[in-house]
Amino acid sequence: MDFEFSEEQIAIRDTIRELVQDKVAPRAAEIDEKSEYPKDIEKLFAENGILGIPFPEQYGGISGSSVSICMGIEEIAKACATSSLILAVQALGAYPILVAGSEEQKKRLCPPLASGEKVAAYALSETGSGSDAAAMKTRAVRHGNEYVLNGTKQFISGGSIAGTLVVFAQTDPEANQRGISAFVLERETSPWKADKLEHKLGIRGFPTAQLVFEDVKVPVANRLGEEGTGFKLALAVLDRSRPGIGAQALGIAEGAFDYALNYVKERKQFGQAIASFQGIQFMLADIATQIEAARHLVYRAATKVDAKATDLTKVAAMAKLFASDMAMRVTTDCVQLLGGYGYISDYPVERMMRDAKITQIYEGTNQIQRVVIARSLLR
Amino acid sequence: MDLDLAPQHANFRDTVREVAQEVVRPHAVEVDRDHRFPDEAIDAAKAAGLLGVLIPREYGGAGLDAIAFAVCIEELAQACASTSVIVDVHTSVGSEPILLFGTEEQKRRWLPPLASGELLGAFALTEPASGSDAASLKMSARRDGDRYVLNGTKVFITTIGRAGLYIVFARTGPDERAAGVSAFVVPADAPGVRVGQLFKKMGLRGSPTGELVLEDVVVPAANRLAAEGQGFTVAMRALDSGRIGISGQALGIAQAAVDESRALLQGRGREQGDEFMLADMATRLESARLLAYHAAWLCSRGRPFTRQASMAKLHCTDTAMAIALDGVQLAGEEGTVGGSPFERHVRDAKALQIYEGSNQVQRIVIARDLLS
């Protein structure tokens, strides 16, 4: 048993921490206010190797470890949840290739992502197929050496900016979930249409899009794994990416708590700092304890990803569930600690509260996490 | 980073589990029903060497660390919470003050009989008017040459009447707060040591709790632990690692409630609402376990762990209470009937939110650390 990060992991974290405090934190409020994708931050991450964290060295990256990915996402999310998605979605798009890709596919598709030349996205959900992912309608029909894709994907994070898109589609609709296959689309050769969805509650700077595929051609060489193995792959990817959403939730909560903790030490009422009131102190103690508990679960799940543990599915779902529910409660409490100031956008905690909400919803709603956990307990 | 138990800890857990499930568990219902001391369980723990987990080998103990201690208490609590609190108090606050603050002579004298279980250790800090405000204790220890004369009453003493020695905190100096407190080892058979009122409790009924009355009890100066005025430091340090043990107890009770709830749902028709409760119970338990192990891991490496131990105690015990109540809810009316493990877990878990620093005191400790 060892709760310590390795020196390499600490080095990655410290580099990111410094970069984030220096360059990302000052931009966070503006990114939210303008609902604008921070291309400058994507570039900053690319230049500093942050987008290479999800990839092992042999594919042009710097790590490939889930613990490192989570550390990176956590650090970025402390300042700006939108920016943390640049790394989180890169990892989400990378996992299908790393898990199911052939050596040739990994060597071909990963390096441009690892260098940050391109960003990736992952397209599973559809308007009529959210939690019930197997009910998807997007169709892929094989014609010789290529597939032709038709259909619509919904709520695709980064779908409008990605250069590389992993898409799940039915190759054999009769076979239901055993008829789903996974494909890697590259924008230059397999272009898709994207409509950005506007006016989101939070993570406003990261585009969420509806993607439309009209006779989009994909070479057979870009199918991941065998036909019919796509659904299994989609779930295997979510097992690996959920700790990252836990890390994002954790970072958002920590960012809000750091701010609120300083605030209650400074804010004076009744002639004393409000931190001197026991009612406030107990809120602080509960928040810090909840954050600490969530942190351990997130990194527990991340080490399970790296160890390819057999109980990964359950622990990853627990980490995502616990950390995101925690983040929602904690950010709400932090708004409370700031009182009226917490409610206005001159202070960052209301943004963090809005950003936290999505972590309870995406990559499997928390209801789905409970289904996953209960199933693994009761089987 | 590796959050799995090391092989030696996993092996130790398996050893404890065997004793707990085979010898301790079968008596749990009856021990609770009859408010009786779990003699069979304590004898089995003695025989398996579980009473000297933290005591070094040179003094007859197992020489294991705080992680092993947490694991040991968790496994025992999963079988019988009353047994676990007796072993926990003995191992941590009943023995560690001697282990951590005793002179070589004091350690040679008391640790071997504590390690073997020949003597059970107990901890006497709380008084009728001094609970969370421990520094206000009133028991007096008047110096008389090379001895002290102790007078006063302690309350809520775990293992009262069965302990062979009590770590007693009493006032030696004129200072009315912490700086006037000293720690003493008081043998249970010293003249003037008397068991006062014995309490009937809501839970943990196999573990005797009551008053310890000292009337002109004479102890040699050689029985004082650390310097005069250092008693409060001794108590606080003992409670830090004590909280790891309480966390272990909470984990054990909660694990039992989760396992029994799972078995219950597997054996009957169930709705998604039931399954979601089980998922939440298991998730909270997992988060609590990691907090406890983290505190134990820090302690085992000699690093500061006060805040983490308080967080573990707070979160583990609040979680155990919530899980125990959810277990009754899942079991329905059947779960409320005497003899059902579900209702027993609720009664047992409640004490954990109160003793070794109420959860309000834990929040004070954590907040103080955050604001310092």
- pLDDT for B142: 97
In three-state secondary structure terms, A182 is strand
Contact B5/A2, CB-based, under 8 Å?
A: no
Contact A378/B262, CB-based, under 8 Å?
A: yes
Question: Contact, A192 vs A162, CB < 8 A?
Answer: no
Amino acid of residue B324: A
For residue A4 the two structure tokens come to 């310590």
- Residue in chain A closest to B280 (alpha carbons) equals A370
Q: Compare CB distances from A378 to B3, B265, B287 and report the shortest one's residue.
A: B265
Give the Cα separation of A231 and A177 in Å (integer): 6
- pLDDT for A235: 96
For residue B127 the two structure tokens come to 């008084």
The residue-averaged pLDDT of B307-321 equals: 98
Phi/psi-derived region of residue A146, left when phi > 0, alpha when psi is between -120 and 50, beta in every other case: beta
Q: Which residues pair with A131 in a beta bridge?
A: none
- Is the pLDDT reported for residue B174 higher than 90? no
Question: What would the pLDDT profile of B2-61 be if each residue is shown by its tens digit?
Answer: 999 999 999 999 999 999 999 999 999 999 999 999 999 999 999 999 999 999 999 999
- Nearest Cα of chain A lies from the Cα of B77 at a distance, in angstroms, of 21
Residue B206: phi, psi to the nearest 5? -80, -10
Question: What would the pLDDT profile of A150-186 be if each residue is shown by its tens digit?
Answer: 999 999 999 999 999 999 999 999 998 999 999 999 9
- pLDDT for B173: 82
- pLDDT for A379: 87
* pTM, full prediction: 0.93
- pLDDT for B266: 94
Give the Cα separation of B46 and B48 in Å (integer): 5
Cα–Cα distances in angstroms (integers) from residue B259 to residues A126, B21, B273, B320, B342, in the given order = 38, 13, 18, 13, 11
- Residue in chain A closest to B361 (alpha carbons) equals A282
pLDDT band at B269 (very low <50, low <70, confident <90, very high): confident
Give the Cα separation of A65 and B203 in Å (integer): 46
Question: What would the pLDDT profile of B115-156 be if each residue is shown by its tens digit?
Answer: 999 999 999 999 999 998 999 999 999 999 999 999 999 999
- pLDDT for A164: 98
Contact B314/A289, CB-based, under 8 Å?
A: yes
Give the Cα separation of A210 and A30 in Å (integer): 25
- pLDDT for A368: 96
pLDDT band at B170 (very low <50, low <70, confident <90, very high): very high
- Nearest Cα of chain A lies from the Cα of B274 at a distance, in angstroms, of 9
State the average pLDDT for chain B: 96
Which residues of chain A have a Cβ shorter than 8 Å from any chain B Cβ?
A: 1-6, 9, 67, 261, 265, 275, 278, 281-282, 284-286, 288-290, 292-294, 296-297, 299-300, 303, 315, 318, 321-322, 367, 369-371, 373-375, 377-378
**Which helix (H) or strand (E) segment is B160 a member of?**
none
Give the Cα separation of A219 and A221 in Å (integer): 5
- pLDDT for B358: 94
Longest CA pairwise span in chain B (Å)? 73
Question: Contact, A285 vs A293, CB < 8 A?
Answer: no
β B193-198/A223-224 pair status: unpaired
Counting one residue from chain A and one from chain B, the pairs whose CB atoms sit within 8 A come to: 127
Burial B326-362 (b: 16+ CB within 10 A, else e): bbbebbeeebeeeebbbbbbbbbbbbbbebbbbbebb
- pLDDT for A129: 92
State the average pLDDT for chain A: 97
- pLDDT for B159: 97
- pLDDT for B339: 87
- Is the pLDDT reported for residue B219 higher than 90? yes
- pLDDT for B175: 84
Question: What would the pLDDT profile of A342-374 be if each residue is shown by its tens digit?
Answer: 999 999 999 999 999 999 999 999 999 999 999
Give the Cα separation of A93 and A97 in Å (integer): 8
Give the Cα separation of B214 and B193 in Å (integer): 5
**Which helix (H) or strand (E) segment is A155 a member of?**
strand A146-157
Return per-residue pLDDT of chain A as tens, 379 residues: 999 999 999 999 999 999 999 999 999 999 999 999 999 999 999 999 999 999 999 999 999 999 999 999 999 999 999 999 999 999 999 999 999 999 999 999 999 999 999 999 999 999 999 889 889 999 999 999 999 999 999 999 999 999 999 999 999 999 989 999 999 999 999 999 999 988 899 999 999 999 999 999 999 999 999 999 999 999 999 999 999 999 999 999 999 999 999 999 999 999 999 999 999 999 999 999 999 999 999 999 999 999 999 999 999 999 999 999 999 999 999 999 999 999 999 999 999 999 999 999 999 999 999 999 999 999 8
- pLDDT for A371: 96
- CB contacts of A274 in chain B (<8 Å) are none
Amino acid of residue B338: G
Amino acid of residue A62: I
Question: What would the pLDDT profile of B78-109 be if each residue is shown by its tens digit?
Answer: 999 999 999 999 999 999 999 999 999 999 99
Task: Report the candidate in A77, A14, A79, A82 with the shortest Cα–Cα distance to residue A48.
Answer: A14
- CB contacts of A6 in chain B (<8 Å) are 1
In three-state secondary structure terms, B172 is coil
- pLDDT for B363: 97
Other C-beta atoms closer than 10 Å to the C-beta of B261 total: 26
Question: Contact, A288 vs B311, CB < 8 A?
Answer: yes
Q: Which residues pair with A287 in a beta bridge?
A: none
Per the annotation, the verdict on B356 as an active-site residue is yes
Active site residues of A: 363
- pLDDT for B320: 98
Give the dihedral of Cα atoms A46, A50, A52, A57; nearest 10 deg: 130
Length of chain A in terms of residues written: 379
- Nearest Cα of chain A lies from the Cα of B38 at a distance, in angstroms, of 32
Question: Contact, B21 vs B36, CB < 8 A?
Answer: no
Q: Compare CB distances from B1 to A67, A281, A322 and report the shortest one's residue.
A: A67
β B147-158/B140-144 pair status: antiparallel
Residue A251: alpha-carbon gap to chain centroid: 12
For residue B136 the two structure tokens come to 């206000």
- pLDDT for B300: 97
